[in-house]
Amino acid sequence: MADYRHLAKLFAGRWIPGPKVEDGMRFANYLNGKGITTILNYLGEGFKETKDMDHTFEVYDEILKGLRNSINYQISIKPTQIGIPDYPELAASYYDKLVEEAGRYGIFVWVDMEESNTVDATIDLYLRKIDRPNTGLCIQSYLKRSFDDVKNLVEKGGRIRLVKGAYNEAESIAYKERSETTKNFSKIMDYLFEHENYFMVATHDLNLVNEAIEKNRKYNRNFHIAMLNGIRNKEVQRLGLHGARVALYVPFGEAWMSYAVRRLKETSNLRLVMRSLLQSQKI
Ligand SMILES: Cc1cc2nc3c(=O)[nH]c(=O)nc-3n(C[C@H](O)[C@H](O)[C@H](O)COP(=O)(O)OP(=O)(O)OC[C@H]3O[C@@H](n4cnc5c(N)ncnc54)[C@H](O)[C@@H]3O)c2cc1C
């Protein structure tokens, strides 16, 4: 599968509702009607031009105004969309404004985690508003540093969205065996159940999802199970109907190709891709 772009075109429609803000918001409303929290993400990353960062801010601003006072919506921002790592002051000013505005409207703001060379700058960005109850940070269990990062952040009052991690990182800093990443996910999840009230378990790994549900029988936490739109939507709906708090991460925007290619590269073999293509995820 040397060229993922042709396959990506086939798949993009099931992962991404469309290129426009209205597409994202329309789909978000649809999911909300089904009791699913929507995490809206405007696609784009690795920006070098400040005009792209300005545009990203304007799009999120439009979303926040559009979702004003709605419940069950969150947004998730990629730090390299708003100036990390080259323009940290610009990123800080955009982040601060978005968090303040979202706070006024009762909307939760997640900070996505990207490649490892941006982790420190991303944590610094998140720390700026860690005291705001409507903010949270994504942490990747494939990074060896993540357990310590989570401890530090939770001690400071932060909220965590736990994922396995989507980038190709060096063995010196990241677990390369899937089983090690999963083990670290469980370890961090244990810590979150013990020490946090609100957090997000973001995975399609049903063993981990079941583990979280089982753990919650003891801890009774206010946590969300979250998946990416289009992968296991029916499962998300089923979990919601059985009483779990569920969320779908819904990316939208013009930059759908690189997102679709990354999701395809994650699927470990063609069989999985084809099976996923054949199974409808419409809910
Ligand atoms: C809500 C949410 C937010 C995320 N935010 C970030 C972020 O900010 N930074 C970051 O690095 N990563 C993020 N990710 C991606 C994450 O890091 C993983 O790359 C992705 O979730 C796949 O890992 P997994 O936990 O589902 O486990 P895996 O072990 O990869 O997958 C478990 C099973 O899920 C199914 N599956 C997984 N992916 C696919 C797919 N593409 N197509 C079809 N089936 C699939 C397969 O059956 C697979 O066996 C996010 C994921 C979610 C759910």
The string of pLDDT tens digits covering residues 45-56 is 999 999 999 999
Residue 99 has pLDDT above 60, yes or no: yes
Helix axes 270-278, 5-15, angle to 10 degrees: 40
Whole-angstrom Cα distance, residue 124 to residue 118? Answer: 10
Dig out the tokens for 218 from the structure.
């003891």
Cα 88 to the center of its chain, rounded Å: 21
Examine residue 271 and state whether it is found in any structural domain, yes or no: no
Helix (H, G, I), strand (E, B) or coil at 198: coil
Residue 2 has pLDDT above 60, yes or no: no
As a dihedral over the C-alpha atoms of residue 67, residue 250, residue 126, residue 185, rounded to 10 degrees, the angle is 140
227 lines ligand 1 (CB under 6 A): yes
Q: What is the pLDDT of residue 19?
A: 87
Residue 1 has pLDDT above 50, yes or no: no
Residue 138 parent element (H or E) = strand 135-140
Q: How confident is the model at residue 255 (pLDDT cuts 50, 70, 90)?
A: confident
Whether 122 and 108 have beta carbons less than 8 Å apart is answered as no
Examine residue 276 and state whether it is found in any structural domain, yes or no: no
Whether 160 and 135 have beta carbons less than 8 Å apart is answered as no
Distance in Å, CA 220 to ligand 1 centroid: 25
Examine residue 112 and state whether it is found in any structural domain, yes or no: yes
- Convert the pLDDT of each residue in 159-198 to its tens digit: 999 999 999 999 999 999 999 999 999 999 999 999 999 9
Examine residue 168 and state whether it is found in any structural domain, yes or no: yes
243 φ/ψ sector (left φ>0, alpha ψ -120 to 50, else beta): left
- Domain with 164 in it: 17-252
Examine residue 135 and state whether it is found in any structural domain, yes or no: yes
81 lines ligand 1 (CB under 6 A): no
CATH of the domain at 168: 3.20.20.220
Examine residue 1 and state whether it is found in any structural domain, yes or no: no
DSSP for residue 197: S
- Convert the pLDDT of each residue in 211-221 to its tens digit: 999 999 999 99
At a CB cut-off of 8 Å and minimum separation 6, what does 255 contact? 43, 44, 45
Dig out the tokens for 107 from the structure.
């909307």
272 lines ligand 1 (CB under 6 A): yes
Examine residue 85 and state whether it is found in any structural domain, yes or no: yes
Q: What is the pLDDT of residue 15?
A: 81
Residue 139 has pLDDT above 80, yes or no: yes
Examine residue 22 and state whether it is found in any structural domain, yes or no: yes
| Number of domains observed in the structure of the chain | 1
Residue whose Cα lies nearest atom 8 of ligand 1: it is 112
Q: How confident is the model at residue 16 (pLDDT cuts 50, 70, 90)?
A: confident
Q: Is the peptide bond before 88 cis (omega within 30 degrees of 0)?
A: no
Whole-angstrom Cα distance, residue 103 to residue 129? Answer: 11
